[in-house]
Structure 1
Amino acid sequence: MTILAVASQADAQVAARLFRGLAEPTRLALLTALLDGERTVNELVQAVGGKQSGVSGHLACLRDCGLVVSRPGPGRSVLYRLAAPSLQTLLRAAEELLADSGHPVTLCAEQGGEQS
């Protein structure tokens, strides 16, 4: 019999911070909008709707959770991108898990407009 180790408190806190970033529909929409590459806040507002202040707040949360990174863009803009390519793998795994539980969703569109 294999005994599974319980995550340390520090590891659990890091993981919980990651899942906090995924636990809100607008933040998930922002992450999926960034699957195609870098975008400015204005582009993300257009992609997901809402107000700029709200989107900026969600982006700050995603940055704090380690899911997105930012850099200065042209002029006064800021460009956001996914912090790691493995985030797409995580979103695909979420699609599979939800489908297995009877709730199929599409979070990651395939290249060329086809959906998974």
Structure 2
Amino acid sequence: MTMNSPAAGPSATTSCGAPSAAVALFRSLGDPARLAILLRLARGEAKVVDLVGCVGLAQSTVSAHLACLRDCGLVDSRPQGRASLYFLARPELLDLLASAEQLLAATGEAVDLCPIYGTPAAPAPDSTGAGR
């Protein structure tokens, strides 16, 4: 992905120069439920009911996430009887997800331990027993 495309004018970038489309893309990928849906669709087509079972959210919530991902051009669907089968609309997304896995493997636990975006660390056990 080219971050400073000459074709992108000033209105298409954030104040620091990052393309606003890239910001929107990473925000769409930043939601745990949407990322889980995309990872499931990376394995193949799925109905909403399959995705509900995968992410453990209500059907209406999964449908709203699918609408967001469709609006972003990341997923599409095709009818199958009375249901729809959802699939990744862009094969490049598989490359992006694979690159993210490689980056996470290379950084080890550093990203997960990030004080802003990482998973909060569990408090250390109290060795004095004062918490009992």
TM-score range, shorter chain: 0.7 to 0.9
Shift of 1:22: 0.4
Aligned-partner SS, 1:36: coil
Task: Give the equivalent residue in structure 1 for 2:65.
Answer: 58
Match of 2:75 in 1: 68
Match of residue 32, structure 1, among 31, 35, 39: 39
Equivalent-residue separation in structure 2 for 1:80 and 1:21 (angstroms):
17
Cα RMSD over matched residues? 2.4
Q: Indicate the structure with greater helix content.
A: 1
Classify the secondary structure of the residue corresponding to 1:80: strand
Letter in 1 for 2:56: G
Write the distance in 1 (CA, Å) between the matches of 2:59 and 2:92. 27
1:97 lines up with 2:95 in the alignment? no
Matched with 2:49 is: 42
Which among 18, 22, 45 is matched to residue 25 of structure 2?
18
Please state how far the C-alpha of 1:61 moved relative to its aligned partner: 1.0
What does the per-residue CA deviation read over 1:1-20, in whole Å, with 9 as the maximum and x for residues that have no partner?
Answer: xxxx8343437132222212
Q: Tell me what 1:109 maps to.
A: none
Higher relative contact order (CA 8 A, sep 6+): 1
Unaligned runs of 5+ in 1: 105-116
1:50 Cα deviation after fit? 1.0
For 1:83, the aligned partner's letter is A
Which consecutive residues of structure 2, in runs of 5 or more, have no partner in the other structure? 14-18, 111-132
Provide the aligned length of Structure 1 versus Structure 2: 101
